[in-house]
Amino acid sequence: MKDKNWKEAVEQLGKIRHFSSLYVRKSRKGALTSAQEVDLLFRVALAKKLLTPLQLSYQMGISKTAISRLIENLCKKELIEKRRKKEDLRSYVLKITEIGKEELDSTYYYYLEPLYKLKRNLGKEKFQILLKLIEEANEKM
């Protein structure tokens, strides 16, 4: 091994994975949508302008192929719809449907509850510092 501190690095990675598993929920049993689909739905619903699949791929940090599968599943469930771009009919943007909004309304607290708990337990100031550091780390990756 070239990295003599690899054991420490593995421990650090384990801490990051543990943190993620505590605060990023998997989908509820019997839910209409997966956790990744809910993530995509929230991004589409909260975006200031209509998003393309490529923009979602960058935002979510997953491949365009995975985004395409998520979009197709959500379209089949009638939670989002594709809208062709007028300037380039080969491209499209995504819009959340009323059914999609209802799905988010019924599931948002389940996904956000661990975040609310973290904010309560850390306090507002430390919570903001943590989010800032996470955002900075994401930008560096």
What mean pLDDT, rounded, does the chain reach? 91
Question: Higher-confidence residue: 70 or 26?
Answer: 70
Q: Residue 76 is encoded by which pair of tokens?
A: 């089949």
Q: Is the pLDDT assigned to residue 23 strictly greater than 90? A: no
Condensed to tens digits (0 to 9), the pLDDT of residues 24-39 reads: 888 877 788 888 999 9
Q: 91-101 as b/e, with b when 16 or more CB fall inside 10 Å?
A: ebbbebbeebe
Q: Is the pLDDT assigned to residue 70 strictly greater than 80? A: yes
Rg (Cα) of the chain, in Å, rounded? Answer: 18
CA distance 67 to 51: 12
The mean per-residue pLDDT over the stretch 127-138 comes to 94
CATH classification of 31-140, choosing from 3.40.50.300, 1.10.10.10, 3.40.50.150, 3.30.930.10?
1.10.10.10
Q: What angle do CA 66, 32, 96 make, to 5 degrees?
A: 65
H-type alpha helices, 26-97: 35-46, 53-60, 64-76
Residue 130: band (very low, low, confident or very high) from pLDDT cuts 50, 70, 90: very high
- Closest-CA residue to 99 (of 109, 107, 91): 107
pTM exceeding 0.75: yes
Q: How many CB atoms lie within 10 A of CB 67?
A: 22
Give domain limits for the chain. Answer: 31-140
Residues 40, 60 contacting (CB under 8 angstroms):
yes
Condensed to tens digits (0 to 9), the pLDDT of residues 88-123 reads: 777 899 999 999 999 999 888 888 999 999 999 999
Name the burial class of residue 105, with classes exposed (0-12), middle (13-18) and buried (19+) by CB atoms within 10 angstroms of its CB. exposed
Q: What angle do CA 73, 28, 57 make, to 5 degrees?
A: 40
